[in-house]
Amino acid sequence: MSKTDRFLRACWGQEVDRTPVWLMRQAGRYLPEYRATRAKVSGFLELCQTPELACEVTLQPLRRFDLDAAILFSDILTVPHAMGMELDFLEGEGPVFRDPLREASDLRRLGQPDPEQDLRYVMDAVRLIRRELDGRVPLIGFAGSPWTLACYMIEGRGSRDFLHAKTWMYSDPESLEALLERLVLALTDYLHAQAAAGAQALMLFDTWGGTLTTSAYERFSLAPLQRVIAGLRATAEAKELPIILFSKGGGNWLERMAASGANVIGLDWTIDINVARTRLGKKIAVQGNLDPIALYGQAALLRAEIENILCANAGRPGHIFNLGHGITPQTPIDNVELLVETVHAWNGCSNDSVYEEY
């Protein structure tokens, strides 16, 4: 079975010859070749905006590891940047919007981007990556969720409590929904353009959905996500593509996520995969869910953690092995190799893969 078939069949819940594996942020700072490429440009945004370098960084982990999918190298904040918000990536701070949105009147500053013009560099990168991959593995395109992007646009940067975004939500929910609807339209166009350019699967990162109450999640995170997915399903290019939805901290709402229109639900490390599969039902595939920090541990314990997840899935079709969040910059490369090899070599549960061992 080819790697392309393996990953895509797993996304659709079909039988595969072995569990496919890829890693969120698999192209990144833990790789010395990434750091060398990054040093060639003035900043992270320039790296994203240079299709040849974005292609190179996308391919780097595939040269080291026997991964079953590539994911486009880009950033979720390219969309609000294309809407007119000034974006910087500051060393030691991460992404920063210097003039964040703070009230309804600020929405007048936002434009509606054309993906093939304002985000042409992303589409050119997708086309180039597909050509360079030459069918070896499938390419995943992605975007942030409307709520997650709104949080960054309102806070101006990452946050612990999302004071400004939540204050807006509780004081003027209608204008917040107006912002979210602009993002729904922009993200639907953006992901559709990625599909047209050659992405073979699409992923939505709802990084901050788990910060909300249940009612707020349904209104401000899930409902906009459903509209994005419905919009994609209405297009010829994206209608048949698998869509992966990942909500960090979203374990409370798995059943609601299953009704979103996505056919793969990404799991963080806080929920047992067996419990998640029972709640999601047979029609939904899952992706996950190793704690990224387990990659810092002893090889024997790391292997046991990996095998426990595989055993919890119990051989059911529709499982894509991944981390429960993105790989971190100091991750030992040898342990990434061990992860990929262990997943591909796994052939059933044994007494060596239970927590009681240690």
pLDDT at 358 over 80: no
Q: What is the CATH number of the domain that holds 234?
A: 3.20.20.210
Give dist(CA 77, CA 118) in Å, integer.
Answer: 13
Per-residue pLDDT at 159:
86
pLDDT digits (tens, 9 = 90+) for 300-355: 999 999 999 999 999 999 999 999 999 999 999 999 999 999 999 998 886 544 43
pLDDT at 36 over 70: yes
> Is 81 labelled as part of a ligand binding site?
no
> Is 26 labelled as part of a ligand binding site?
yes
Positive or negative torsion for Cα 18, 321, 352, 304: positive
In DSSP terms, 142 is beta-bridged to: 203
Q: Residues 9, 25, 182, 277: which is the catalytic one?
A: 25
Residue type, 195: A
239-256 burial, b at 16+ Cβ within 10 Å, e below that, comes to eebbbbbbbbbbbebbeb
Structural domain that includes position 87? 3-357
Over residues 135-139, the mean pLDDT reads: 97
> Is 148 labelled as part of a ligand binding site?
no
Q: How many CA atoms does the CB half-sphere of 193 hold within 13 Å?
A: 21
Q: Is 68 a catalytic residue?
A: no
The answer to whether 317 and 15 have CB atoms below 8 angstroms apart is yes
Per-residue pLDDT at 283:
94
pLDDT at 357 over 50: no
The answer to whether 36 and 337 have CB atoms below 8 angstroms apart is no
Per-residue pLDDT at 353:
44
Per-residue pLDDT at 351:
55
Per-residue pLDDT at 125:
98
> Is 297 labelled as part of a ligand binding site?
no
Is residue 2 classed exposed, middle or buried when 0-12, 13-18 and 19+ CB atoms within 10 A define those classes?
middle
Q: Is 25 a catalytic residue?
A: yes
Number of domains within the chain: 1
| Main-chain dihedrals φ then ψ at residue 124, nearest 5 degrees | -65, -40
Q: Is 98 a catalytic residue?
A: no
Q: Residues 68, 75, 189, 268: which is the catalytic one?
A: 75
Q: Residues 5, 18, 38, 88: which is the catalytic one?
A: 38
> Is 27 labelled as part of a ligand binding site?
yes
Over residues 247-252, the mean pLDDT reads: 93
Positive or negative torsion for Cα 307, 311, 313, 317: positive
pLDDT interval class at 160 (50, 70, 90) = confident
Q: Residues 29, 256, 279, 316: which is the catalytic one?
A: 29
Over residues 200-214, the mean pLDDT reads: 96
pLDDT digits (tens, 9 = 90+) for 57-81: 999 999 999 999 999 999 999 999 9
Closest CA to 147 of 216, 78, 202, 214: 216
User: Sheet containing 264-266: which strands, arranged edge to edge?
Assistant: 70-71, 139-144, 201-206, 243-247, 264-266, 285-287, 319-320
pLDDT at 38 over 60: yes
Per-residue pLDDT at 354:
41
pLDDT at 145 over 90: yes
> Is 29 labelled as part of a ligand binding site?
yes
> Is 288 labelled as part of a ligand binding site?
no
Over residues 109-118, the mean pLDDT reads: 97
Per-residue pLDDT at 3:
76
From residue 126, give the alpha-carbon distance in Å to each of 72, 197, 198, 346.
Answer: 7, 6, 6, 32
Q: What rounded mean pLDDT belongs to the chain?
A: 94
Taking the complete model, does pTM exceed 0.85, yes or no?
yes
